[in-house]
Structure 1
Amino acid sequence: MRYIFFIGIVILTFCIADEKNEIVFKSVEIIGNKNIELEVVEDAIDVSRGSIFAFWKDKTPRINSRLIKTLPQTLKNFYDSEGYYDAEFMIGENNNSIRILIDEKEPIKVASIDITSDFDISNFIFNKENSVFRSKEFIESKKQIIDKLLNDGYCSYDLDAKAYIDLEKHRADLVYNLKKGDICTFGETVIKGAEGIDNNVILSRVEALNGKRFNIQSVKDTYQRIEDLEAFDTVLVNADRKIYNVVPIDITLKMLENPYYFSGGIGYDSFAGVRVGAQLVKRNFFSNAQKLTLTGKYSMKDKVLDFDFFRPAILYYDGYYLDFGLNAGYSDVEYKGFGEEKEYIKGFMAYQFDRLLLKGGMGIENVNIYDLGTIDPDITYGTYVLNYPFLQVIYDARDDRLNPKNGYYFAGYLEYGMPYNTNSSDYTKFEFEARGIYTYKEITFSTVGKIGTIEEISGYVPESKLFFGGGMFSNRAYGYNELGTIASPTEFLKSGALSMANLSCEINFPIKNDIYGAVFTDNTMLSDTSYNFNGEIISSAGFGIRYITPVGPLKIDIGSNINDVSQFSIQFQLGQSF
């Protein structure tokens, strides 16, 4: 019911917006374009076909009447950029519509490409001989050559790229002259504005280290890692100065004016009923970019009170540092076949450099697995004391964390439950995850594979510690952690699994502007035996919509079991899962 209500509000909002905008729109007809697709021309002059949510309405292309006066120049600029400098346009207009007749005429074609360079730039020449000369391809070519030089450490390059256009002969001659220069290195880091924060805290986030070979990605990573401290209103990282082939890094910071952040919300779902949640964050807690977070959640199915403390660079020596984190709290959560009441505390030390993150620590949990009025013979109830060291390793080579288009990601997790008394559990838990993302002509192919296993050495591992499936990061035909041990392609138990494997594949494709479509398949294996990855598999497939936002994609997915289409689920998420 919540999902239907949400979708209804979205549709109503888009439809109301359409009704308001339609008043100043006129229908438009474009004819005569032979070499450039109609949709491309329409996008260039800002033609709209109405909201995709108002599916019952006429999809006649329309244009805002305020733009009609500028149409001749807009069309001229667009066709010039596409290489059709002689194109002519006739525009007719009445009270309700306009008609555009295009005569593209002969285009400018690339007659020659002359390259003189001591650096290989062949992969960045997008204009080809005998093809239509497009200025945007030439501009993009220069941009990517410069990006490649900077990422390879050549900040003293000399690039002279010109396109000589002969309008009478309809030809373009392209000339690239490049001297890469000497290799550059980063210089000293200068920090300004870090009031009340030790310079070592800031330096622990600097990837552009003194003496390291220059590359622009290290400058971007430095900015992002300082921004992630959440201790500043403004972060500026400049690499504009150059002393011979040495580039100093200038970091200018502005401290937070309001270090407190509060958020709260109320929601509803069919499993838990009304949900209430709140979070209070104190940033720069007692200075040095420390952060304290208090989180509370309440519903009829789960109650959570969580405390989190983070101290960056608690230890720092000769360019190496360790962060410290502490997490503690209480939770009472109902699963499908049991309830879990837990008190927990976990501390860790972490080190990150470049794309590698190492995290290790110790956790203690007091877990009570209780029945919900009905005893399930597949579930072991009781109280467990867990005392475990853990290690996590992550290598993230994606080009963007919020909305990656290319790259890969690896993560491994190892946990060992130590039997320090008769009530404790002795076990090992291992998980591994690999992601791959590749984009070709705006179509993004993504895949993520996960495996995990638990070995019970002595005693029992509490049910909530086992593997479950379902949800946005697992099998999207089912709700979060709904899947227990799988018995067949359509059946599963309420009890958790000792071994897990999951493979998800997804294709994202553009629809319009920041709206993307997606098709996907999820395949989940959950078995009741350690190191057993040959169990039954539940496979699902589905489709979704993504809206790109500054904080990551807003996703709506509908997934269904391919062997039982009556089993489906609707998933909502803000953020990336690949």
Structure 2
Amino acid sequence: MQGVSSEAMKLLLTCRYSMVLACLSVGAARAQSPQLEINTADTQLSTNIRAHLRLPPISCTSDEPQLARALQSRIANLDNTVQRASQALGYYAAQTQLSLSKTSECWLLSVSVDAGEPVVIKALTLSIAVDAELFADTLNSLSISEGAQLNHEDYEAAKAELAARAFDLGFLDARYTLARLSIDKTQREASVELALDPGLRHRFGKINFNTGGALSDDFVKRFVTFSEGDFYSPQTLLDLRGALNDSQYFSDISIAPRITAREGSHVPIDIAMTSRPRRVYEYGAGITTDTGPRISGYYEDRYRNPSGHRLNASTSLSPIQRSLDADYLIPLENPTMENLRVSAGWIEENTDTFDSRSYRTSIAYTFVNRSNWRQSYFTNYRHDEFEVNGIRETSDLLIPGLSITKTQSDSALVPNNGWQLFAQVRGASTALFASETFLQLNLNGKWITPLGRGRFISRFELGTTFADSIAELPVSIQYFTGGDQSIRGYDYKSIGARDSGGLISGGKSLAVASLEVDFAITGKWRLAAFTDIGDAFDDLNRLNFNQSAGIGIRWISPIGPIRVDLARPINGGESVRLHLSMGPDL
């Protein structure tokens, strides 16, 4: 190599040496990769064999004769493993062929299984010594049945299901007097015999409370939906714990059934809890593109008295919206299911479309109905002063109404599956202390479902008002749309009906819909694409859908997603708009 310096030669040799080491390292990594091949007609059997079979520790440098000797010394154990995996699924006549062969990288273990005909359950005998009618649903839904292929896992699951049902019913000493699985391999038939003796059905005994003193025993007892002497149920205790936790009164909750201290059939229950701090003070600052930068404050008195009455007040201040609200909540007979709420508030809004100032007081009775929907009957009195397109109006309305809502989801903050529906009817009449007469119907919904690695999110808002003149009703009752929570790409409440002069005013009706797809990109970050469409209008002949599309990014925070969206109207000349919002998806 003429013309190559000694330093260059050293460098070249070093590089070549490093490359050789790298190749050897790659080869060594590959050499540690023996393969397993399973050939059988039953996919479930193949999966079960793969789950149980462990590749033997044979060196990848072994030649064919060494592999043959290694297989011969291990073939009995390997075959035994395959047989056990086959019998677990009811194949008691499986024929197995095993082979070890050399490959370019290491070696391959081939397992070929002719499963044969499976064992079938020909006879199933189930008996419950006492109270058999309580087990009827469980017996009808067991994972084993006559005529089904024998599966040992299903047999064990059936035993566990019956035992669990007995425990849920309060049979704390239930036991099997007979649990027999008989197999005739030649006939490929099996018989199952299960005889359960539930024993004595237990009941709730004395219920002992330790409330910590902040709330009265009488109030806490209203959360308890069972009484001493009722049949014992672990699920009832779990439901009680959930209700106490959801009440937001307690930080620590202990519900202890003293099974070992039971008196005959009665199980004493000890309930102890620690109250959360009585008063909460919060303040903060934030920003949304609807209302701009905002400062806010919140105060809560979680229990003003031993009966659990609750007071909270909140205020916020932004360039577009200012508000002050106070609520007094009175828990009723079942604190988790019904309450009476008295509230008062003031809100002022200044948008490009309207200026508004409202004062309100209201009383609402809320309860959870038999279908598990939250239902409210309410009466609001409100005084409004507002200006739309230079025309000032005032109104005084006494508004009774009814609302109903339900939310179901698999997560409180970022559900993959869930839905929410809200419906409301409200109105006022000049015959009932009101300056105007109207009737209004509202229906809102949202649905979230998995879509591949992401989620599909849809929502809608529908509403209509029956009134002689919508312009004389407060802007809080007129319909406007546009903004972070409705049609992105447009300013906050910038979309409405147009008057004879082409100026935007509130509409009698509303129709809004949105479709969105989001998916995780890394950690707590998600990417989204969406389209929104809708309008606020006076009549269908003047309906003009405003549509936008955009993309966004979400960061999953402890309070729910923080959303940053860029959206642009499709059928307008407006530019791209930035939208910021936060909070749970449902």
TM-score (norm 2): 0.60
Residues 132-147 of structure 1 mapped to structure 2, 5 A cutoff: none
Structure-to-structure mapping, 1:475-486, within 5 angstroms: 475-478=487-490, 481-485=493-497
1:484-499 map, 5 Å: 484-485=496-497, 494-499=504-509
Query: What are the within-5 Å matches in structure 2 for residues 143-292 of structure 1?
Result: 190-193=208-211, 195-207=213-225, 219-237=237-255, 250-256=270-276, 258-269=277-288, 272-292=291-311
Contact 2:481–2:494, Cα closer than 8 Å, also in 1 = yes
Matched letter for residue 527 of structure 1:
F
For residues 351 and 125 of structure 2, the distance between their equivalents in structure 1, rounded to whole angstroms, comes to: 66
More off after superposition, 187-196 vs 505-514: 505-514
Secondary structure in structure 2 of the residue aligned to 1:466: coil
Query: Contact 1:471–1:571 (CA<8 Å) still a contact in 2?
Result: no
SS at match of 1:464: coil
Residue of 438, 441, 449 corresponding to 1:427: 438
Change (3 A) 1:297 1:438: closer
Matched with 1:363 is: 380
- The one-letter amino acid paired with 1:424 is S
The alignment status of 1:327 with 2:346, answered yes or no, reads: no
CA shift, 1:461, in A, is: 0.8
CA contact (8 A) 1:468 1:482 kept: yes
1:452 touches 1:499 (CA, 8 Å); kept in 2?
yes
Task: In structure 1, give the amino acid aligned to 2:219.
Answer: V
> Does structure 1 residue 556 correspond to structure 2 residue 575?
no
Checking the alignment, whether the CA contact within 8 Å between 1:305 and 1:329 is kept in structure 2 is: yes
Identify if the C-alpha distance between structure 1 residues 518 and 343 changes in structure 2 by more than 3 Å, giving closer, same or farther.
Answer: same
Gaps of 5+ in 2: 1-28, 45-84, 89-105, 182-190
SS of the equivalent of 1:419 reads: coil
| Matching residue of 1:463 | 475
Q: Give the helix-richer structure, 1 or 2.
A: 2
Q: Secondary structure at the match of 1:463?
A: coil
Q: Look up the equivalent residue of 2:561 and give its one-letter code.
A: L
Q: Check conservation: 1:472, 1:573, Cα contact below 8 A.
A: no
> 3-state SS of the aligned residue for 1:424?
coil
* C-alpha separation in 1, matches of 2:555 and 2:234: 29
What CA RMSD, in Å, does the superposition of the two structures yield over aligned residues? Answer: 6.4
Question: Aligned partners of 2:460 and 2:240: how far apart in 1?
Answer: 30
2-structure distance, mates of 1:320, 1:181: 35
237 and 142 in structure 1: CA distance in 2 versus 1, 3 angstrom threshold: farther
Give the deviation of 1:176 after TM superposition. 8.7
Aligned to 1:8: none
Q: Is the 8 A contact 2:343 2:363 kept in 1?
A: yes
Could you tell me how far apart the structure 1 residues matched to 2:541 and 2:155 are? 52
Amino acid at match of 2:473: V
CA distance in 2, matches of 1:455, 1:569: 35
For the residues of structure 2 that align with 1:102 and 1:477, how far apart are their CA atoms? 61
1:311–1:176 distance in 2 versus 1, CA, 3 Å? same
Question: Which has the larger Rg?
Answer: 2
Measure the CA separation in 2 of the matches of 1:563 and 1:356: 38
| Alpha carbons of structure 1 residues 286 and 398: separation in structure 2 relative to 1, 3 Å | same
Deviation at 1:112, TM superposition (A): 7.2
* Matched ranges for 1:6-405 at <5 A: 125=143, 190-193=208-211, 195-207=213-225, 219-237=237-255, 250-256=270-276, 258-269=277-288, 272-313=291-332, 316=333, 323-352=339-368, 355-370=372-387, 375=389, 380-396=391-407
Once residues 165 and 492 of structure 2 are traced to their aligned partners in structure 1, the CA distance between those partners, rounded to angstroms, is 43
* Letter of the structure 2 residue corresponding to residue 453 of structure 1: T
Q: Cα distance, 1:466 vs. partner?
A: 1.9
CA separation in 2, counterparts of 1:512 and 1:33? 35
- Between the aligned partners of 2:498 and 2:269, the Cα distance in structure 1 is 55
Identical positions, percent: 18
Offset of 1:293 from its aligned partner?
A: 1.8
CA contact (8 A) 1:483 1:493 kept: no
Query: Could you tell me whether the CA contact under 8 Å between 2:549 and 2:570 is conserved in 1?
Result: no
Alignment-mate amino acid for residue 251 of structure 1: I
Q: CA deviation at 1:365?
A: 1.7
8 Å CA contact 2:287, 2:580 repeated in 1 = no
Q: Which runs of 5+ in 1 are unaligned?
A: 1-25, 37-79, 84-98, 165-172
Encode CA deviations 1:519-544: one digit per residue, 9 max, x unaligned.
66544343224xx6994444556666
Q: For residues 558 and 440 of structure 1, do their structure 2 counterparts lie closer, same or farther at Cα, with a shift above 3 Å needed?
A: closer
- Name the aligned partner's letter for residue 226 of structure 1: L
What letter matches 2:352 in structure 1? Answer: K
TM-score by length of 1: 0.60
Partners of 2:36 and 2:258 lie apart in 1 by 48
Count of residues paired in the alignment: 489
Query: What is the distance in 2 between the residues matched to 1:534 and 1:124?
Result: 60
